[in-house]
Chain A
Amino acid sequence: MLHFTRAKILAIVLTCLAGLIVALPNFFSKSTVESWPWFMPKHQLALGLDLQGGAHLLLAMDQDEIKKDWINNLRDESRKVLREAKIGFAGIGTQGLTQLVIKLAKPEERDAAIKALNKVRQPLGSMLMGGGGYDVDVFAGPDPSTVIVRESEQGIRQRVSNAASASIETVNRRVNNLGTSESTIVRQGADRILIQFPGLTDTKELKKLIGETAKLTFHEVHPSMSGEDAKLGTVPPGYKIFPSDKSEGGGDYLLREQPVVQGEDLADAQPGFDSRTGEAVINFRFNQAGARKFGNFTKDHVGRPFAIVLDNKVLSAPVIREPILGGSGQISGNFTVESTNTLAVQLRSGSLPTKLTIVEERTVGPSLGADSISAGKDAGLIGGIAVVCLTILAYGTFGIFAVVGLLVHLILTIALMTLIGSTMTLPGIAGLVLGVAMAVDANVLVYERIREELRVGKSPVSAIDAGFARAFITIADSQLTTLACAIIMFWLGSGPIRGFAVTLTIGILTSIFASVTVVRLLIWYWLKAQPKGQKITVPV
Chain B
Amino acid sequence: MLMKYVPVFKGMDFFPHDLRLPFMRYKGAALIGSIVAMAIALGLCAVMGLNYGVDFKGGSLIELRAKTGNADVSALRTKLNALGVGNVQIQEFGSPADVLVRLEEQPGGELAQQASVKKVTEAISADYTERRVEVVGPAVSSELRMTGFIAVAAGILAIVGYVWFRFEWQFAVGAVLSLTHDVVVVAGIFALFQFEFDLSTVAALLTILGYSVNDTVVVSDRIRENLRKFKKMELNELLNLSINETLSRTILTGMTAIAVLLSLYIFGGEVIRSFNLAMLLGVIIGTYSSIFIAAPLLGYLGVKRDWSDALAKAVASGKTKAKA
**Contacts from A to B (Cβ < 8 Å):** 1, 50, 58, 60, 201, 203, 207, 357-365, 367-368, 371-372, 375-376, 378-380, 382-384, 386-387, 390-400, 426-427, 430, 433-434, 436-438, 440-441, 444-445, 447-448, 451-452, 455, 465-466, 469, 473-474, 477-482, 484-489, 491-497, 500, 504, 525-526, 528-529, 537, 539-540
Contact = CB atoms under 8 A, between A and B. Distances in A.
B256 A445 contact: no
A397 B199 contact: no
Contacts of A444: 249, 252-253, 256
A477 B217 contact: yes
Contact of B3 (A372, A486, A504, A529): A529
Given A440-B253, A445-B249, A433 B264 contact: yes
B51 interface: no
Contacts of B264: 379-380, 383, 430, 433
B221 A383 contact: no
Given A362-B133, A427-B275, A434-B210, A493 B203 contact: yes
Given A60-B110, A497-B206, A481 B213 contact: yes
Contacts of B262: 383
B8 A372 contact: no
A482 B9 CA distance: 34
28 contacts: A207-B114, A359-B139, A360-B135, A361-B134, A361-B135, A362-B134, A365-B130, A368-B271, A379-B264, A379-B266, A379-B267, A394-B14, A396-B11, A427-B272, A427-B275, A430-B272, A433-B264, A441-B249, A444-B253, A448-B252, A452-B17, A478-B213, A478-B218, A482-B210, A488-B151, A493-B202, A537-B10, A539-B11
Contact of A451 (B2, B13, B268, B272): B13
A70 B249 CA distance: 66
Nearest to A360: B140
B199 A497 contact: yes
Given A382-B263, A437-B257, A489-B206, 6 more contacts: A358-B114, A358-B135, A375-B268, A438-B214, A452-B17, A539-B9
A389 B111 CA distance: 54
Contacts of A496: 199-200, 203
Given A437-B256, A455-B17, A497-B151, A474 B221 contact: yes
Given A434-B207, A474-B217, A440 B256 contact: yes
A526 B252 contact: no
Given A383-B260, A539-B8, A481 B214 contact: yes
Contacts of B151: 488-489, 492-493, 497
Interface string B199-223: 1101100110111011001100110
A497 B11 contact: no
B130 A375 contact: no
B300 interface: no
Contacts of B12: 393-394, 396
A539 B10 contact: yes
Interface residues of B, number: 87
Pairs A-B, 9 closest by C-beta atoms: A375-B269, A529-B3, A396-B11, A383-B263, A386-B259, A395-B11, A379-B268, A383-B260, A379-B267
Contacts of B114: 207, 358, 361
A497 B203 CA distance: 5
A398 B10 CA distance: 8
A482 B214 contact: yes
A421 B145 CA distance: 29
Most buried by A among B139, B217, B255: B217
A437 B157 CA distance: 23
Contact of B11 (A357, A394, A479): A394
B20 interface: no
Contacts of B11: 392-399, 447, 539-540
Interface in B76-123: 109-111, 114, 117
Most buried by B among A392, A452, A489: A489
A397 B8 contact: yes
Given A60-B139, A434-B207, A540 B10 contact: yes
Contacts of A486: 210
Interface in B215-266: 217-218, 221-222, 245-246, 248-249, 252-253, 255-257, 259-264, 266
B110 A358 contact: yes
Contacts of A359: 110, 136-137, 139-140
A68 to B, nearest CB: 17
B267 A397 contact: no
A396 B147 contact: no
Contacts of A481: 159, 162-163, 210, 213-214, 217
B83 to A, nearest CB: 18
Interface string B255-299: 111011111101111011001100100000000000000000000
B147 A494 contact: yes
Contact of A371 (B221, B257, B260, B269): B269
A434 B208 CA distance: 10
A339 to B, nearest CB: 16
A485 B131 contact: no
A383 B264 CA distance: 7
A537 B10 CA distance: 9
A390 B12 CA distance: 10
B75 interface: no
B21 interface: no
A485 B110 contact: no
Most buried by B among A400, A448, A481: A481
B302 interface: no
A480 B162 contact: yes
Contacts of A426: 271-272
Given A478-B214, A484-B159, A386 B260 contact: yes
B150 interface: yes
Contact of B166 (A393, A427, A477): A477
B19 interface: no
B3 A526 contact: yes
Contacts of A497: 148, 151, 199, 202-203, 206
A372 B259 CA distance: 20
Nearest to A492: B151
Contacts of B166: 477
Contacts of A526: 3, 6
Given A392-B11, A500-B207, A387 B6 contact: no
B132 A363 contact: yes
A181 B157 CA distance: 43
Interface in B1-39: 1-4, 6-14, 17
Interface string B60-87: 0001010000000000000000000000
A493 to B, nearest CB: 5
B173 interface: no
A481 B163 CA distance: 7
A367 B271 CA distance: 13
B161 interface: yes
Contact of A363 (B130, B207, B267): B130
B49 interface: no
B144 interface: yes
A43 to B, nearest CB: 27
Nearest to B154: A488
B317 interface: no
